[in-house]
Amino acid sequence: MRKYQIFKERNPDFESRIEAILNGILSPDPKGISLQAMDSKNPYTEDKLYKNVLKFCDVSREEFPLTHGAIWEYFNGNPSLGLEGSLKEIGAVVELKVKPKINSKNSATAYQKTDAGEDFGDPAVALGTYLVNEFKNKLKYSSMQRILGTSRKRNNTKCGRGYLTYKITELLAKNPDSEFRCKDIVKELRGELEPKSISIILNSLGEIGVIGYESPYREIKGKRATGWIVYRAKRKIDYEEALEEIKRVHPKFQSKRKYPKFKFLGYLGKIIKHINKNLNEKLEYNKISDKLHIPPYQVSSILSGLEKAGYLSSEFSGKTKSRAKANEFTLRLWEKLLEPIGEAAEKLDPYVDGFREKLEFYEEKPEIWKEQIKNQLMIYQRERRKTGPKGGKEIRKAIVDVLSSSGKSMKRSHIAEEVRRKISRKGISKSAVGRQLKNLEKEGRIKKTEKGYYALK
């Protein structure tokens, strides 16, 4: 077989190879680490693979962020849905059938790392591990999952997340003294990438801190708009007086059904206390939400109520133009991760300058390697819990609470909306809520009343 034949067949052009390495291998973080843990000479069944990963990382089952089933899915996919594992899909591993165990009639499925998985996967993963550790405590988020995202190219898009990140970072890093609007980037890349996708990536990279980015887009009362409202206190606020005044001028706060469920009185008291301590400061709902840990839409409603009651004045900020610019982390991301990966992918040569540098460093210093892998797993786990997909237990509890508060049958989309508000963090998709609705139905805790509607049992 020709060298890298499977990898080249699965990834015939530069774009698909970048996608394969960045999203197919490096993100989420445990996927690349699991591939790196494999000895290319040996096939691994599900149980053997997981034990090998734990041994390679020098961690226990309790310390590792994923179960053996979750790791196996990167290799084996979901056969019942006809989905290949992402590592198999890109040609980083190949499926084999191994001899059955004693007293077993069926052969077992196993996976073995390909030459491309070893030559391109291992060095890339080492670069990623090193960069995550270098960015640790310097950026808001630093896992490979947060930097690169996890989605790959879909049929209705021109490019996937990995390639988008690569091209945008390349443009900014090669023009470090220039500022780019979103439409400038579209023009520079000659229509290669969709404007909407570019905007999403810029916002994501800006939130992480890996690029400098200013945008006029903000949330105003739950809706995305150009500009945002800034409030200022007119005077010190008395809580009891403010409560009565808000109820008078803002009738919806008198609702006994809606507002007690989000602890309106307690939230109002916290916000008034915060305002009284910052009488000369600008007040923005999202900053208050982050500081006081109160859901954003609730802070927005209370500030609006205080304004109507005459305690706050407001002004509309914007319309500023979006501006993206390279910072020191953009340059590091490009020079230490994306550029060497890009050169290796373009030339299909794993020995280009800088690509194997960190792998060889780690092989000479295995004690540092183990320590930095543990750091990367810890960072991934922390960021996944904080902003990524929520654990099923948390979502199921929120679903039950929402249905309990409603006391009646609710439409699935409305349940999903209320769950996102209740947990009040990013990363909960409608599909995630849908999966947990099915799990609760199987457990007998909820029932489907009609198509798309659920209620407590």
Q: What is the pLDDT of residues 233-268, one digit of tens each?
A: 999 999 888 888 877 766 556 554 444 444 667 888
Question: Where do the H-state alpha helices sit in 58-105?
Answer: 68-76, 86-89
User: Helix and strand tally (H, E) in the chain?
Assistant: 23, 11
360 vs 220: CA distance, rounded Å: 50
Residue 5 banded pLDDT, cuts 50, 70, 90:
very high
pLDDT digits (tens, 9 = 90+) for 136-149: 999 989 999 999 98
Tokens of 2: 């020709």
Q: Does the structure show a pLDDT above 80 at 227?
A: no
H or E, element range at 220: strand 217-220
pLDDT at 156: 40
Sheet holding 410-411, edge to edge: 410-411, 453-456, 446-450
16 vs 159: CA distance, rounded Å: 9
The DSSP secondary-structure symbol of 222 reads T
127 vs 409: CA distance, rounded Å: 51
pLDDT at 426: 47
155 three-state secondary structure: coil
159 vs 436: CA distance, rounded Å: 31
Report whether 173 contacts 330 (CB < 8 A): yes
Distance from the Cα of residue 196 to its chain's centroid: 18
Stretch 198-225: mean pLDDT, rounded? 70
Stretch 342-355: mean pLDDT, rounded? 97
Across 53-57, 66-70, 146-150, 153-157, the highest mean pLDDT is recorded for 53-57
Mean pLDDT across the chain, nearest whole number? 85
| Residue given tokens 């409305």 in the structure block | 414
pLDDT digits (tens, 9 = 90+) for 386-426: 544 446 777 888 898 888 877 888 888 889 888 877 765 44
75 vs 452: CA distance, rounded Å: 33
Tokens of 288: 């208050």
Give the number of C-alpha atoms closer than 13 A to the C-alpha of residue 203, restricted to the C-beta side: 10
pTM (two decimals) = 0.66
336 vs 170: CA distance, rounded Å: 12
Q: Does the structure show a pLDDT above 50 at 312?
A: yes
Q: Nearest CA to 16 among 145, 163, 171? A: 163
Q: Looking at per-residue confidence, does 328 or 432 come out higher? A: 328
Rg (CA), the chain: 25
Question: Where do the H-state alpha helices sit in 77-160?
Answer: 86-89, 115-116, 122-135, 144-148
φ/ψ of 305, rounded to 5, equals -65, -40
Q: Which residues lie closer than 8 Å to 342 by C-beta, 6 or more apart?
A: 14, 18, 166, 170
Stretch 184-205: mean pLDDT, rounded? 79
If phi > 0 it is left, if psi is from -120 to 50 it is alpha, else beta; for residue 351 that is: alpha
